Amino acid sequence: MRIFPKRFKATVTAAAMALGMTAGFTQAAETINGAGATFPYPIYAKWAEAYKAKTGISMNYQSIGSGGGIKQITARTVDFGASDAPLTVEKLNEIGLTQFPMVMGGVVPVVNLEGVKPGELKLTGAVLADIYLGKITSWDDAALQKLNPGVKLPNSKITVVSRADGSGTTFIFTHYMSKVSTGFKEKIGNNTSVAWPTGVSGKGNEGVASYVQRLKGAIGYVEYAYALQNRMTFAQLQNKAGQFVKPDSETFQAAAAGADWKGTPGFNLMLTDQPGAKSWPITGATFILVYKKQEKNETAQQVLKFFNWAYHHGDKLAEQLDYVPMPASVVKLVEETWKNEIKDASGKAVWTDSMVQK
């Protein structure tokens, strides 16, 4: 079964290979390199295609998971890292990094159930938690039947699919689950990598999607673009307001509407289980990590120019993949952060207002 992001991966990396690049190392300002979260990979790949067509500058992005992205930027083997799990201000200062939110989206439960249409199955956070805890093991369990009286659920085993790698998608998913289930919080907890008590694990969003597509009776969690583009069967979720909602740009925007980015040091903000009748409960932002002190001024400027172009000209592409662009007020805050925090070896600001691509 073909997984959506792979066609983009070939496009992005081919441009880098044509320039004689080795993944993970910057040899020239014509190519910038990053690594990390799989959650935003589809939109980063789309932006990379469009940006290269416009500027000739390639962006080579390794979709290796948030944990890997943090490791690579810490080791300075890439020009930027990407993570769906925001670092604390203390951790940022310890490493010497700054972070900023790039785009927002949703994590969705996906299932492989014959005869069940996308958005037809209903789940609550508590029931979903019990499935991942191994307490609910069959699709005809009484708790599932009560939520889905009109849905024909099979008398078959539930195969739980999770992430095998350090993952920001897992961080967002477990952050939500820990909010809505005390048992989940105590036994599994919230992290980029956790010890799952049951099921199988795949690498990356694409790995989870592949397992769910192949295994009858499977349930997993992936970033929405992976579910949408692979025509996977996603579930409705009951939100904090008690309403069952489907994942889409409207419900992601509703969850993000009240986000206090200005009042949150280091942009360290989670968007799970937000209030509002239309809010999708597993919404999250994805973040870019760069060093405050830059050794290569030209490369640092190219990195910021790419993401600045994405902020100002990439919204339509993001919306086509059902990501939520950052509001203009947040973009302005990010640009001020770049100007104030990111410096070259002499202490001079790498970013200036004149570089903003309106």
HSE (CB half, 13 Å, CA atoms) of 211? 22
What is the reported pTM? 0.83
Number of domains in the chain: 2
Measured from the Cβ of residue 120, the count of other Cβ atoms closer than 10 Å reads: 17
Clarify whether residues 68 and 187 are in a common domain: no
- What local confidence, expressed as pLDDT, does residue 29 receive? 55
Same domain for 319 and 231: no
Q: Is residue 270 in some structural domain?
A: no
Q: Is residue 279 part of a domain?
A: no
3-state secondary structure of 42: helix
Q: For residue 37, give its domain range.
A: 5-104+285-355
pLDDT digits (tens, 9 = 90+) for 10-39: 334 434 333 333 333 334 458 999 999 988
Instruction: Please give the pLDDT value at position 24.
Output: 38
The DSSP secondary-structure symbol of 229 reads: H
Classify residue 269: in a domain, yes or no. no
Do residue 119 and residue 234 come from a single domain? yes
Considering only residues 12 and 55, tell me which one the structure prediction assigns the higher pLDDT: 55
Q: At what angle do helices 297-313 and 41-55 cross, to 10 degrees?
A: 110
Q: Tell me if 86 is assigned to some domain.
A: yes
The residue type of 252 is: F
- What is the residue type of 301? Q
Whether residue 203 sits in one domain with residue 290:
no
Calculated CA dihedral for residues 179, 201, 196, 36, nearest 10 degrees: -50
pLDDT over 90 at 41, yes or no: yes
50 domain-assigned: yes
161 and 252 inside one domain: yes
The mean-pLDDT minimum among 32-36, 241-245, 279-283, 294-298 falls in: 294-298
Percentage of residues in the chain having pLDDT higher than 90: 83
Residue with tokens 């950052």: 326
Do both 151 and 43 map to the same domain?
Answer: no
CA atoms of 310 and 335, how far apart (whole Å): 13
Taking only the tens place, the pLDDT of each residue in 65-111 is 899 999 999 999 999 999 999 999 999 999 999 999 999 999 999 99
Cα–Cα distance, 70 to 88 (Å, whole number): 13
- Comparing CA positions, the residue from 187, 84, 165, 177 lying closest to residue 127 is 177
- CATH label of the domain that carries residue 135: 3.40.190.10
Alpha-helix residue ranges (DSSP H) falling in the chain: 5-18, 41-55, 66-74, 89-95, 125-132, 142-147, 168-180, 182-187, 204-214, 224-229, 249-256, 297-313, 315-320, 328-341
Kindly tell me if the per-residue pLDDT of 234 is higher than 90: yes
